[in-house]
Amino acid sequence: MIGVRKRIRESSRAAWRGARLFVVSLAGSTTLFVFSVLSIAFVPLGVGLFTTPAVLDAVRRHAHRRRAWAAEWAGVRIPAAYRPLPPDVRRGVVGDVERTVHLLKDPATWRDLRWLLADMTAGCVSAFLAPALFLYGIEGFVVLAGLWAAFRHDPYWYGFIPVSGPLSALPAAACGAVLLVLGVRYAPALLRGHFLLTRSLLDPGRDEELARRVERLTETRHDAVDASAAELRRIERDLHDGAQARLVAVGMDLGTIEALVDKDPARAKELIGQARRSSADALTELRDLVRGIHPPVLAERGLGDAVRALALRMPMEVEVEVALPGRAGAPVESAAYFAVSEALANAVKHSGGDRVWIDLSHSDGMLRASVTDNGHGGAVTGGTGSGLSGLERRLGTFDGVVAVSSPAGGPTMVTVEIPCALS
């Protein structure tokens, strides 16, 4: 009995969602398709150069909403393969022209328009099938209840059944019952069919996906080379300004001590203490530098213990939860460690909170690390010089992604995912 009720609830929900999709497809997709066609048609006249970016942005938001519903309502994943806008696009009139050219060159734009055309026709029909079974099934019982009496001179046709009295209404009610049973049984499948149709039109296809992946790998390779060069420059600068300078000072102190050891033993003894302190400081700086390159605890104990050690050095209260059944490759562990370190540094500098939670886990071939603080929120990715933007570039080498949830008022959650296997 519980299973039947659950099935009825799921089917009713699918029917309601199908009705919602029908309205959105008919009104939203039709309107956006007409505006898109008119805007693109006016590009040669100049007007479309300024209206097309706004219209196509609305189309993409419409498509993104459909992708979200597909995943949430039917478990159908529809990838988005839009080409990112070049970072050097200018503002103003020139920027509008550049954005229009970029959007019209993107194959995903034409897939969206093709989908809009199909969605406002076949998509409407496929979305309405689930609610139609319920509505027409209920109508059969309404006919039995007396709807036929409103048509005194002509019979009321319920499908292929003419109804002119109570007896002829019985087959209509029986047919309605069958439709209701079919609705309960097949409404979720019909809703899923609508989203499968959507995916067939919006999916970029394997060839384009591979081409986009190659392009992304090329970009991340350049980013990795630039990051490596910047890291080498940082190490060289730290060595030159830190440990090297202290070691030079130690050498000078030792030379002075050698000259004073017979003439002024007290002064020589004082300089020996100073040299010892300078050598200790140089050793500390070298250890910090090595830790910044690759922490020894990371190589010896793994990512979980390395993050725990990192948390102990933070000025905020940090809780670490680790659920890693094995170890990832050294490059992946290093990337994940420095991603967590960067997210922690941002939390300390900018969040305004006093507590951080770190979760490390691995499932479905993904190493996940989330850093959550109780600060005021407002963190974003993509700014020039942004630490989070740097995270995206660094993790792109491993096909990793960074997701940031930071509503105004907090909390802020930075989630890092890197595809890998554990050993």
Q: Which of 38-52, 216-230, 336-350 has the highest mean pLDDT?
A: 38-52
User: In terms of CATH, what superfamily is 301-419?
Assistant: Histidine kinase-like ATPase, C-terminal domain (3.30.565.10)
pLDDT of 383 reads 45
Angle at Cα 268 formed by Cα 263 and Cα 274, nearest 5°?
160
Mean pLDDT of 368-390: 69
315 burial class (0-12, 13-18, 19+ CB within 10 angstroms)? exposed
Does residue 114 surpass a pLDDT of 90? yes
**Between 59 and 156, the higher pLDDT residue:** 59
Does residue 28 surpass a pLDDT of 90? yes
pLDDT of 221 reads 62
pLDDT of 384 reads 41
If pLDDT is split at 50, 70 and 90, which confidence band does 385 have? very low
Does residue 39 surpass a pLDDT of 90? yes
The predicted-structure confidence for 229-285, as pLDDT tens digits, reads as follows: 665 666 666 666 666 767 777 777 777 777 777 777 787 778 778 877 777 777 776
Does residue 214 surpass a pLDDT of 60? yes
Mean pLDDT of 21-26: 92
Does residue 180 surpass a pLDDT of 70? yes
If pLDDT is split at 50, 70 and 90, which confidence band does 389 have? low
Mean pLDDT of 303-329: 88
pLDDT of 85 reads 75
Tokens standing for residue 375: 């600060």
384 burial class (0-12, 13-18, 19+ CB within 10 angstroms)? exposed
Q: What average pLDDT does the structure give for the chain?
A: 80
**Between 143 and 308, the higher pLDDT residue:** 308
If pLDDT is split at 50, 70 and 90, which confidence band does 124 have? very high
Does residue 407 surpass a pLDDT of 90? no
Mean pLDDT of 128-147: 81
Q: How much is the CA Rg of the chain, to the nearest whole Å?
A: 33
Distance CA 168, CA 275 (A): 109
Distance CA 301, CA 119 (A): 54
Percent of the chain with pLDDT over 90: 22
If pLDDT is split at 50, 70 and 90, which confidence band does 210 have? low
Amino acid at the residue 270:
E
pLDDT of 232 reads 64
Does residue 121 surpass a pLDDT of 60? yes
Mean pLDDT of 121-147: 84
- Among 115-124, 309-318, 392-401, the minimum mean pLDDT is found in 392-401
Q: Where are the alpha helices (DSSP H) in 119-163?
A: 124-145
Beta strands in 343-420 (DSSP E): 355-363, 366-373, 401-405, 412-419
The predicted-structure confidence for 52-106, as pLDDT tens digits, reads as follows: 999 999 999 999 999 999 988 988 888 887 877 766 665 655 567 888 888 898 8
